[in-house]
Structure 1
């Protein structure tokens, strides 16, 4: 599909040129429009990339939507990889869960820079109270592709856990998404 799309218009980029510049197809379909235009892609080409990505995200999210998140962990990780792994800036996402760990809401609360996203525990807990959430899973991506938690990630998680616990909201996990991999604070013994 990528090859067909990129070779369909005269003067447009070739798939091989894009993949020589970007490390993966995930990086290509999440690249900024201005980056893609330098390869000769048209607005139509870029819109098609966005559509493909949106379809993939919606399909992955559908697998998560109607089942408890904790008993559907692999589908949840697949969705998070699809939605976040190749973003060029960090984003902080929160999954708000009910008492049975069903998804109430999935929200990107913050967007940051290439290596930092501010997180405000007060705002996370405030939103959880508004949604009547009983539990949370927080997620952020590392644009570098390496999901290893930083010291700041660990401290932020401790602060989030303390704020949530004070209001009887369970923080089930903090997941860092990398390129095709992830780090779970719970699995690492950090939560």
Structure 2
């Protein structure tokens, strides 16, 4: 019996890679865009179709996620990598686009992107879902939201992500433990992205 395609080569792999460094209402971060660009390059070499975006505003982020949502449908492997500011409010995780100011309680829904929203796009007709969040940096916008908007439970560390259906086929990896901070690192990449690139 001749088998011309291996299981790996027959797989359809689609990745969404986002990295935000140049925040308009917070100090810029050194590594997220470099991290995301390096991860996108590596994934391309691993035969992923990569949808990527760097230093995106909220509308640009939504448009990029929409492109990914169309492309990922029916993929064998769906992967999401995010580097940049993130925060949690009452156990829900949010990614922070570069134009977010988070000055009042309506800001969160209008200016941030829910991680759950991205996960829903990945879950449509995909077999394996891999999520890598390098988003637990010390986030001054979380403090602004907590102080000016009186939003209880706003913090820089991300919350655990509950996975439906017992988590079958899903891996979620954080740069730090839940509710803890990760670091941007002093080298070319964050410690998390460096380790990911090595392995």
Superposition TM-score, scaled by structure 1 size: 0.32
Choose between structure 1 and 2: higher helix proportion.
1
Larger radius of gyration: 1
Higher relative contact order (CA 8 A, sep 6+): 2
Superposition TM-score, scaled by structure 2 size: 0.31
